[in-house]
Each structure stands twice: as C-alpha cells, then as structure tokens.
Amino acid sequence: MIGSVRVGVRTRQWAGLCLGVFTCITAHTASAADCPGHPDAIGTSRTLVVDPREHPRIGTMQYPETLPLEDHEVVLTFDDGPLPHNSNQILDILASECVKATFFEIGRMAQVYPEGVRKLRDAGHSIGTHTQNHPLSMDRMPIDRARQEIDDGIASVKAALGDDTALAPFYRNPGLLRAGDVEDYLASQGIQTWSADFLADDWRHVSPSRVFDLAIKRLEEKGRGILLLHDIQMRTVAALPSILHELKARGYRIVHVVPATSGQPATPTEPQQWQLHPPSETVAISHWPKIPNFVFTGADTLPAPALSDFDWRDGQLMTLVEPLDRARRLARGVPLPREAPWPRQSPLPLDNAASVLPVPAESIFEIQEKRHAATRPIAPSSHHAEQTVPSERETDGVARLISADARDSRRMIPRSPPITEPGLRHVLRHLI
Ligand SMILES: [Zn+2]
C-alpha cells in the first residue's frame, strides 16, 4: 500500500505557517565565532528557513529556482548515507568546523544503520530523504511505485529517528532523475525536491584532490549555490577539510537550510532571490540539460558500498587506513603517502543484503572540464551503455544481493557468488 498519509512529513504543519515571506522573521544566525575550540573554523553563517510549499523544486541544474543565497553563500548537501565508517568522519569534520549541512538519506541504509540517522539529528543537521532503495529509474517508474519509493524512504528514516518532527520535508531523486508526476506528488505532500547547483564528481573514480578542485572551480564559476556531495565516499572524507578550508580562505560562507515550522517561519525573501544569476558561457553546468532518459547498465541494483574505506589517487588505488588524519594532512597541503595497492584485506565485513543500491549509469553527469566550454551533452546510446556495463566478473560478484526493485526489473541479474572487491569498486565509482 502506498499510504501517503502514513508517511506524510507533517505536511500540514508547514502549510500556511508563514503568512507571507515578507512578514516572517529571519532565523537565528551563527558564525565561526560560535565554534568553541576552533577559532579558525568556517562555521555556519546563518540559517535559512524555507517553506517547501512556496518553492517546491530547487537547484539550477534542473529547475529555474534555487535557494535564495547571497553571493558567496554555500549550502552543503550529502547523499546516500548513512554509512558509519565514512559518514561518521564527515560528521566529525563538519563538527570541527561548526558547519551544518543537509543529508539525503536512503531508507534501506537508515534501516541498517539507524544510529547514523540519529547522529545527524543530534548534531543539528537537516535530514531529508533519497528514496527507499535508490532506484535509478525514478524518471520512468510507474508513479505508484515511485510514490512507494518516496514514502517508504520517509518511513524508514522516520523509524530510525523515532521522532516524527526531526525529518525535514526535503527530498532528492537518486541520480537526479526527475519526472513531472513524481515532482507533482512530492509537491502535493509539501515536500521540497532538491536538485543541486553544482557537483564535485565525488561518486566517480577520481582522487580527493580532483573532488576538491571541482568543488572550488564550479563554485567560483557560480559564486553561490548548493553543492552535492556524498558522505559515503572516502574521497569525500579526504577532500572535505580542504574544501572547507578553501571556502573560508576565499570568503565563502556556509548556510544551513531548515524547513519552516509553526515555531519557525520562513526567512523573508524576494521572488528574484530564488533565481540564480543568469548563466554564463564560462559556467560548465549552466548548460546542464534536463536529465534525459538515460540508458542504464545491465544490472539495476548493486549493494551499497559498505566497505568504502579505500580511495584512488591519480588513477592508482590506495588505501586510507587513517583517512581523517590524512585528510587533515591533505588540508595542510601535504601530499598523502601512497600505500598498499589494491587488493587488500578490508577490516570491515560486508554488510548484509539489505544494503542494496541500484547501479547508476556511467554516463550520468559527464562534465567536460574545459574552461569556457559547456557541459558535454548527455546522449547515451545503447552502444555507449554497453561500453559502461561492469565486467561480467564484477556483476557476478554483486548480483547475489537482491533489491526490492527487482520485481519489475527485466534486467535484474541473477544470483551469483559473493561480491568481489572489484565489483564494489565499480559501485563506488558510479554511485550518486
Ligand atoms: Zn544518491
């Protein structure tokens, strides 16, 4: 059953809470000065309170509107968690900088690691959802199934929280794969669909330094906006201290976004503030197309990256035994030492089969990294998709884990032997 009422996100509570954005008050603000013991922290400069019913879709990668940020203001978002080993380090880094962010959690991950969701709440971050199973088919899925993905994801995160009031009515599509009827449903529930203003490609097979470079470069090109990152990725753990340090050095300020409630009305804004400045020809992602119907890889589901304490740098695989410490060293500009190449023994067991995520197409979000060049058009063909399908050995390794998405999937790969680390590496490389 769909049960939209069952999993409604307090829609009535924020409906009509603000008598008009111009009559509401500004939320409490904070600054780096409020970060005890961390005088050099970037901090959180202010809290922006938004009413999802006033602005149901945000993020200029896909929508006309985005958050009403001032120049040099940034909103950090993290998708696909919680995954304790990496997500906890992201939380530590954010805490050390007194930064508040927004996390889009996967329902199945919340079921497996409910304490990870509660840590987000306890740390004061905003918590949104990212479907139950992370299907890479929200743009073409029957609406009833899409609604169930959304509703189940919300229910799972709520159950993990044990608190109906801690979940924000914020939602992001897996792979940013959008569909009008899905967005209409979300809007009808008072849920705000978040896209992003720029990416850092941290789900791809790139080094932490590349993640850092892309985050800063793309932010500089836009001047403000929503950055999409992944707290489950070790390369993101390694890059985040440098990103935050550089943001502060360049005069950027972090904004925390929370939903309006009866006790906290929306921050007053003008309509034009929700429009990002006109795209520039030099801004790569300003030409980002509306997400087309991607051709996906042969397998619809793969396991969640539960063993992601590894990393790649400059095309070579490395391990990160002490990723946070090393991340701090990276933040100081010290090159990281190379360690044992793949394969190696992982200290963590493979998580159970409940951690199942779908396989994003390799062609998603290909961005041409040429200055003054527009984004490379995304026009995957079946031929291209065939080129990106994981090797048989890899798909065999992950195919034993079955997703709830499998019922409708005619491309679901059969059960096979336990996952191989190369297979897991493939998943991490492409997860968004
Ligand atoms: Zn995702």
336-372 confidence digits (pLDDT tens):
323 322 223 333 333 443 444 444 444 444 444 443 3
Task: Kindly give the distance from the C-alpha atom of residue 328 to the centroid of ligand 1, in angstroms, as a whole number.
Answer: 26
**Whole-number pLDDT of residue 129:** 98
For residues 413-426, average pLDDT: 35
Task: Kindly give the distance from the C-alpha atom of residue 22 to the centroid of ligand 1, in angstroms, as a whole number.
Answer: 35
Task: Kindly give the distance from the C-alpha atom of residue 296 to the centroid of ligand 1, in angstroms, as a whole number.
Answer: 15
- Rounded CA gap, 85 and 311, in Å? 14
pLDDT digits (tens, 9 = 90+) for 34-84: 798 999 999 999 999 999 999 999 999 999 999 999 999 999 999 999 999
Q: What is the DSSP string of 374-430?
A: PPPP----HHHHHHHSPPHHHHHHHTTS--GGGGG-TTPPPP-SPPPHHHHHHHHHH
Task: Kindly give the distance from the C-alpha atom of residue 18 to the centroid of ligand 1, in angstroms, as a whole number.
Answer: 31
- Rounded CA gap, 91 and 80, in Å? 14
Task: Kindly give the distance from the C-alpha atom of residue 81 to the centroid of ligand 1, in angstroms, as a whole number.
Answer: 9
**Whole-number pLDDT of residue 242:** 98
Q: What count of other Cβ atoms lies within 10 Å of the Cβ of residue 376?
A: 14
Task: Kindly give the distance from the C-alpha atom of residue 80 to the centroid of ligand 1, in angstroms, as a whole number.
Answer: 5
- Rounded CA gap, 63 and 163, in Å? 31
Task: Kindly give the distance from the C-alpha atom of residue 220 to the centroid of ligand 1, in angstroms, as a whole number.
Answer: 24
Poorest-pLDDT segment among 66-75, 153-162, 284-293, 387-396 = 387-396
Share of the chain above pLDDT 70, in %: 56
**Whole-number pLDDT of residue 189:** 98
Task: Kindly give the distance from the C-alpha atom of residue 78 to the centroid of ligand 1, in angstroms, as a whole number.
Answer: 9
**Whole-number pLDDT of residue 41:** 97
The secondary structure of residue 47, as a DSSP letter, is E
**Whole-number pLDDT of residue 33:** 56
pLDDT digits (tens, 9 = 90+) for 150-203: 999 999 999 999 988 999 999 999 999 999 999 999 999 999 999 999 999 999
CB 234 within 8 A of CB 168: no
Task: Kindly give the distance from the C-alpha atom of residue 318 to the centroid of ligand 1, in angstroms, as a whole number.
Answer: 24
**Whole-number pLDDT of residue 34:** 74
Task: Kindly give the distance from the C-alpha atom of residue 235 to the centroid of ligand 1, in angstroms, as a whole number.
Answer: 16
Q: What are the φ/ψ torsions at residue 222 (nearest 5 degrees)?
A: -95, -30
pTM for this predicted structure: 0.64
- Rounded CA gap, 128 and 104, in Å? 5
Whether 280 shows a pLDDT value over 90: the answer reads no
Task: Kindly give the distance from the C-alpha atom of residue 427 to the centroid of ligand 1, in angstroms, as a whole number.
Answer: 12
Task: Kindly give the distance from the C-alpha atom of residue 364 to the centroid of ligand 1, in angstroms, as a whole number.
Answer: 12
**Whole-number pLDDT of residue 278:** 52
**Whole-number pLDDT of residue 193:** 98
What distance lies between CA 344 and its chain's CA centroid? 28
- Rounded CA gap, 261 and 50, in Å? 9
Share of the chain above pLDDT 90, in %: 54
For residues 195-219, average pLDDT: 97
pLDDT-derived band of residue 276, with 50, 70 and 90 as boundaries? confident
Amino acid residing at 34: D
Task: Kindly give the distance from the C-alpha atom of residue 379 to the centroid of ligand 1, in angstroms, as a whole number.
Answer: 21
Q: Residue 269 forms beta bridges with which residues?
A: none
